[in-house]
Structure 1
Amino acid sequence: MTLRREAFLDHVKERGEYDTPEEAERAVRVVLALVGEVRAQLAARLPEGFALILLNPLQSAEPLPPERFVRATAAWIEGATEQTANWDVSAVLSTVADTAGKDLMGQILLQLPVGYDLLFGRPQPT
């Protein structure tokens, strides 16, 4: 099931408590540009414009550790701190997790370094 662009942005805007859809879209674009493997399967469930970000072949082949992912996000968003970037990442990735569904999220989390489960809002038992 693919979520419509507006609905996806509405979810991110609500979770990130952004004032405008443009702020939510900025967060989505930055966070998705940094996401690692399983891109094609995840892209199939996202609105087309955001799916294309995941399918860009220029992205990093190795996923960053969660802390570095958040720092990289902060570096790409003007005026962001690690705390605000963590908020942006969580708003986007928790919406992505809802869209992906349980099975695909399980595959995604297996391919990412430990700690991403929290960024996706899907804490895994230790």
Structure 2
Amino acid sequence: MDRTLETFLAQVAKRAGYDSPQQAARAVQNVLEVLGAHLVGDDRTDLARLLPKQCGPLLTATEPASEPLAPAPFVEAVAERSCDDVAEARRAVGAVLPTLAEVTDDALLRRILTQLPPGHAGLFGRTEPA
């Protein structure tokens, strides 16, 4: 698996329909920071190791959230972080999380989804685990 930042950003940009790698980088930063606040322990660090080295700290340096967020509030948190509207945040989440799922093995993705409230699998482009 190619784990270069350029490749990762290109995948996000293509999925979101962004015109530039800078837009993709901004989306990646905002989504990973919100996601990182909602993951704990080895799952967070295991996921960070699978990402381009520049992306890992975005997950691991974030302070843990005080409460879990359902999918809609998760998207709203990305909107607040990025100062974008909810539609643009949904676009970012819909590009970053499925790209993340592609670099993550199924076992780790299942563990991540068990840390998040029900409904997040769809944000990753997956069906809810049974």
TM-score, normalised on structure 1? 0.90
Cα 1:113–1:49, aligned 2, differ >3 Å: closer, same or farther?
Answer: same
Partner of 2:13: 13
Instruction: Give the counterpart letter for 1:72 in structure 2.
Output: A
CA drift of 1:123 comes to 1.6
Name the SS for the 1:18 alignment partner.
coil
Root-mean-square deviation (CA, aligned residues, Å) is: 1.7
Partner of 1:93: 97
Instruction: Give the counterpart letter for 2:19 in structure 1.
Output: D
Partners of 1:109 and 1:117 lie apart in 2 by 7
Query: C-alpha deviations, 1:37-75, integer Å up to 9, x for none?
Result: 121010010011110111105242543211111011111
Cα 1:113–1:13, aligned 2, differ >3 Å: closer, same or farther?
Answer: same
**Long gaps (5+) in structure 2:** none
Name the SS for the 1:63 alignment partner.
coil
The aligned runs of 1:21-36 (5 Å cut-off) are 21-35=21-35, 36=38
**Long gaps (5+) in structure 1:** none
Partner of 2:69: 64
The count of residues paired between Structure 1 and Structure 2 equals 125
Name the SS for the 1:60 alignment partner.
coil
Range moving further from structure 2, 92-101 or 68-77: 68-77
Partners of 1:41 and 1:99 lie apart in 2 by 11
TM-score, normalised on structure 2? 0.88
Instruction: Give the counterpart letter for 1:19 in structure 2.
Output: D
